[in-house]
Structure 1
């Protein structure tokens, strides 16, 4: 097979490569055969398998392999034209009607039954953008009708696919302007500028209305019938964001990012090859009365550089622009829109762009990035404490971190932070580090700053492996004291370094691509296993991809679903669906806005998968090779490091397989038109 597919992997397990001796084989659970070659396969977040062949698109039941639906309108669909609609039970397909097309068509399909809820080709609408409205269960499409120069809005009911309304006039050119040819040219120019998608996701309000931001407008619409409640022109912008403050009721704040070829602040670098001019950025902030749309400030608040973090505080709006240099943090007054901090309201210079913050009793602890996260250098992160009462930074000198910040949390002794290179605790009273010497990953060669060195936690204990010390450390989060658990050098076969830690009932496991090792909590070695890797890198590529996707999901899924579940549970009339939505909302973190439109049935299915993901499996998956038997995908028991079962990949040098790590299914393609499922 010629390529390896990407998967949506959701379970709490890691993947590595191994070599095996005799072990039990896993029998196939089912096999699905297709009439033409399979081009790619995907695992939807609800677990359904989507398969593309030369004949069409198919939905497969993961339980028994039966084909749930087929759609032959999309044969040989390119994988980059397929996308899951985040937080929903739907997928979207985009396509061009011909080579000269510039605006794509788009279809939205429900994954369980294959129902086409929206087909822009049938509707004759080119899609600029589409937006799921969670509270109302609707789909907003910004599209273009044939032979027109302005965008239209179309609202659909997700459950039925029925169009509820269309608004063709909202983004048409205003009538005001010059007359004659000049007036027509001005109107055409404005229409062309209106032929754009929204600059932020729509924000639904409780009264069945919504706020949308277009490059040229801020609009409040009735989402039920499409009528405009109010519409305000703004300075043309590239990005937008809608904000509400708990300290100011019935006011909506809009942040925008404006691009120009003159100015100061954040600038792109012009290219000598394409001779593009330099571009400068400013971020503007507007305040509107929510009911009337009246502007509350004489002019928008302005700060140099790009739109970034905004903190709603009782003192005002703390704006933290993004820049490759050292941007200015400022406070915008709720009443006047004036900037308040620094000399003449010019703000406070920070040691880089604010990438995260934690509100504490002592102030707002900010993490800033300087000339790194935005240009892939990723070398300089700083910590400081912002006093919102005085508009000053508490520490005269920001604390510089080694490596890129991975995560942080407040503990009794201060801020415990983990970077790609070190672990330490910041004393928020003094601005100094609690430990004179951090626990370090090692040199830039061994530390590999593109990924964090391994940590694992259980209760109030954090476990860290340091390649610099070749040892495992235990940190007590309560006391702020750490100890080195291991007395002997930790060595992995194949000159590998541990890259993940799993804390289990009887000890701490360390993993690499080809090694698995366990220490007891007393620091004594329980076992160490090394399994040489297959010679073909393609054999392990999908597993490594699975690991990366899983890590991204664990880091983002909580925030991506919490408010969505709360919204879904509030809207559904199904008692079981409402209860599960509320339960799942508690299980995840918090989120401001999320695309989410699950039916009651889908909530039940997601509930089952969510609960399954919380159960850490007692095995890891690895790829290995045996000279006579070929390649195998295996389960390695965490208890003793031995192989529990295996799936033959044989001598397929570049296998097609996907893994659903919630229910532990392996989908392997042994031939061009067949998928075999193994249940571990």
Structure 2
């Protein structure tokens, strides 16, 4: 799951003398809420829904802003390690998985971190072992397979639970030593269950198997828009993927399975055929195995929906990994991480006059009224989406920058790109580029944020905040020497990385429908609201509450939070983005405080001791 947002946590040390206005800022050492978790705190995660989930030596707890006590305190499994947690992307659930030998889980629980309810646990539902456990959205169901206690013995079984209530809706015994091999697919009142031997279709009302398809070992499936055909994906021992097609009545529709090199990362069902991107990685191979393997890169194929055969005589060369992949009205647009953008028609013809050369790491590809804007680590331009011709007479080039950030100035109709110590302004109509300001920051930093405000342009980094007027003249610039990396910040970054990898594995491309569409280059902040669009069809109070947060305006949109050395010790200061003045101080009295700022909710979480969390309302 490509796509999830991250919260900004700014860590800085104040090294300037506060002026008179700043000295009048409110001090707030006393927390608004105090939570004693009992056991030693080992890990904290600020979830997409805004609940802070804390792993302790005693178990797992959840803190919700404004609620006096933890909304849940799950201690049934004792200490929960970071690798035993999985936060379901774009859903209000966290899974606890304490797997035993061979990865078979004997202890598994699903917790709604918005309501605090434990919706599922192996013990309370009679499971001896769990082979698979999948949250299916937007149906809001949980499908579990494994060994379940029956009348006489433990049998291989599958159960479906309603995640609004935690109640079991369906239960089936799997006969013939069937073992679930991948992620199930729900189709109205039926469940398509992939096993090591075949795919079986079970009527969830009666529990009867209505048909079987001899396609074994499938890892994930995707249905067409009409809900009448299903594509299946099976990994092979050498890392390749086998693709098959079946009907929702159990008929195998292709004469033979189709193979693509590597693992499938993008899949789109189109009227013209099937667009497939697969990634080959032989970095771990050596010797003869490496020589025999394909080059490490992405492969792009276009298959016939009728029989699975490749429709292109010659696949486009990538010479790297596909970083961006978008379906357009006239073809497929793709960008390569190593550099390069191209567009190919559905019948395999190149639409650009020649592949567009770009710098490495294409951070932005988006539509504008003038064409396609791209921004990389070393260059930027707008190109014609039909021909690939550059719109700006000269592409904006800069040295490979440590940080590149951008924004759009609607008032003056220009693009703003900060790179290599300079803020560049590009006229949206003419494409003319000029250096608006020198944006070199103190502390060997580069701007990581460009924000267009009411009175000018705000540039920010971890330790710097600078406001410029529309002509690029400096209104204020504050630099705060860093006291050292926040341990809490470091933990949060680690959890994010783990969650990203886990999301990619668990989602099985289920979110492909939205991520292959090229978006508009818009003002910052809309991405978070758009993140909730895929949940709109789901029901339930917790989902509704989470959607409200997705669509909410940041409670601290006018403030920047900075760790500073105050008169009474290290603390957090609330800095107004428009004036640069400090409007609130929270003394933490800790040289390296462990904390998280929830900028959407306007809340500071501070670990006051090994077992205690303080919560401060930053909106006051």
Shorter-chain TM-score: which interval? 0.7 to 0.9
- SS class of match (2:123): helix
Q: 1:136 & 1:257 partners in 2: Cα distance?
A: 26
* Partner deviation per Cα, 1:493-537 (whole Å, 9 max, x = no partner): 223222221211111111122111111122221111111111x32
Give the aligned partner of residue 419 of structure 2.
466
2: CA distance between counterparts of 1:502 and 1:522?
15
Q: Which residue of 2 aligns with 1:573?
A: none
| Residue number in structure 2 paired with 1:116 | 118
What is the rounded CA distance, in whole Å, between the counterparts of 2:322 and 2:527 in structure 1? Answer: 28
The 5 Å alignment of 1:519-538 reads 519-534=468-483, 536-538=484-486
Paired residues of 2:351 and 2:386 also in contact (CA < 8 A): no
Query: Tell me, what secondary structure is at the counterpart of 1:492?
Result: coil
Aligned to 1:454: 405
Q: Residue deviations 1:197-221, cap 9 Å, x none?
A: 41x4x3332x322334445433333
Equivalent residue number for residue 657 of structure 1: 595
2:336 aligned with 1:356:
no
Secondary structure of the 2:447 match is coil
Distance 1:231 1:462, change over 3 A: farther
How has the CA–CA distance of structure 1 residues 431 and 158 changed in structure 2, closer, same or farther, with 3 Å as cutoff? closer
Contact kept? 2:384, 2:391, Cα under 8 Å: yes
Provide, for residues 532-556 of structure 1, a one-character-per-residue CA deviation record: whole Å limited to 9, x for no partner. 111x32368459849988x98xx99
Aligned to 1:606: 546
After superposition, the C-alpha distances for 1:131-182 in whole angstroms (9 at most, x for unaligned) are: 1234544311122358999953222233443333333325x34xxxxxxxxx
Residue number among 230, 240, 254 corresponding to 2:220 in the alignment: 240
Match of 1:674 in 2: 612
Q: Number of aligned residue pairs: give it.
A: 572
Please give the TM-score of this superposition, normalised by the length of structure 1.
Answer: 0.73
The 1:585–1:364 alpha-carbon spacing in structure 2 relative to 1, beyond 3 Å, is closer
Q: Matched residues in 2 for 1:562 and 1:332: separation?
A: 17
> Are the counterparts in 1 of residues 457 and 467 from structure 2 also a CA contact under 8 Å?
yes
> Which segments of 5 or more consecutive residues in structure 1 lack a partner in the other structure?
1-7, 174-190, 260-278, 370-379, 565-583
- Secondary structure at 2:276's aligned position in 1? strand
Question: 2:287 maps to what in 1?
Answer: none
Q: Is the 8 A contact 1:240 1:257 kept in 2?
A: no
Q: Give 3-state SS (helix, strand or coil) of 1:606's partner.
A: helix
Are residues 1:250 and 2:228 paired? yes
CA contact (8 A) 2:273 2:303 kept: yes
Whole-angstrom distance in 1 between the partners of 2:586 and 2:5: 19
**Aligned residue for 1:419?**
376
Q: Counterpart of 1:339?
A: 310
Specify the SS of the correspondent of 2:78.
coil
Secondary structure of 2:608's partner? strand
Paired residue secondary structure (2:472): coil
Alpha-carbon separation, structure 2, partners of 1:55 and 1:111: 17
Q: Among 117, 127, 131, which residue is 2:130 paired with?
A: 127
- Structure 2 CA distance for aligned equivalents of residues 547 and 438 of structure 1: 38
Q: How far, CA to CA, are the matches of 2:108 and 2:475 in structure 1?
A: 55
SS in 1 for 2:546: helix
Looking at structure 1, the residues matched to 247 and 5 of structure 2 have their Cα atoms a distance apart, in angstroms, of 44
Indicate how the Cα distance of structure 1 residues 304 and 112 shifts in structure 2: closer, same or farther if over 3 A, else same. closer
* Counterparts in 2 of 1:305 and 1:418: CA distance versus 1, 3 Å: same
5 Å-filtered alignment, 1:90-109, equals: 90-96=93-99, 102-109=104-111
Following the alignment from structure 1 to structure 2, what is the Cα–Cα distance between the partners of residues 37 and 282? Answer: 44
How far apart are the structure 2 equivalents of 1:507 and 1:520? 4
User: 2 CA distance for matches of 1:164 and 1:667?
Assistant: 39
Q: Distance in 1 between matches of 2:135 and 2:531?
A: 21
What displacement does 1:92 show? 2.1
The alignment partner of 2:324 has SS state of strand
1:286 paired residue number? 244
Deviation at residue 464 of structure 1 after TM alignment = 0.5
Mapping of residues 179-198 of structure 1, within 5 Å = 194=179, 197-198=181-182
Q: For residues 620-631 of structure 1, what are the structure 2 equivalents within 5 Å?
A: 620-626=560-566, 629-631=568-570
User: Any idea what SS the aligned residue of 2:10 has?
Assistant: coil
Tell me whether 1:140 sits opposite 2:143 in the alignment.
yes
Partner of 1:648: 587
Structure 2 counterpart of 1:203: 185
Q: Which residue of 2 aligns with 1:219?
A: 200
Q: Secondary structure at the match of 1:486?
A: strand
SS at match of 1:605: helix
For 1:16 and 1:49, how far apart are their aligned partners in 2? 19
Residue matched to 1:323: 280
Alpha carbon RMSD of aligned pairs, Å?
4.0
Task: Select 2:335's aligned residue among 360, 367, 371.
Answer: 367
Question: 1:131–1:595: 8 Å Cα contact kept in structure 2?
Answer: no
Task: Decide whether aligned partners of structure 1 residues 537 and 115 sit closer, same or farther in structure 2, where only a CA change above 3 A counts.
Answer: closer
Residues 542 and 657 of structure 1 are in contact (CA less than 8 Å); yes or no, is this contact kept in structure 2?
Answer: no
- Aligned in 2, Cα 1:315/1:124: closer, same or farther, shift over 3 Å? closer
C-alpha distance after superposition, 1:272-327 (max 9, x if no partner): xxxxxxx3x4433322222x211122112333343232332322223333235366
Residue matched to 1:229: 210
Residue in 1 aligned with 2:160? 155
Alpha carbons 1:492, 1:515 under 8 Å: kept: yes
Q: CA deviation at 1:633?
A: 1.6
Mapping of 1:538-577 within 5 angstroms?
A: 538=486, 541-542=489-490, 545=493
Contact persistence 1:561–1:591 (CA under 8 A): no
Mapped pair 1:387 → 2:345: yes
Equivalents in 1 of 2:58, 2:319: separation in Å?
56
Q: Given that residues 474 and 483 in structure 1 are in contact (C-alpha distance below 8 angstroms), is that contact kept between their aligned partners in structure 2?
A: yes
* CA separation of 1:414 and 1:235: change in aligned 2, threshold 3 A: same
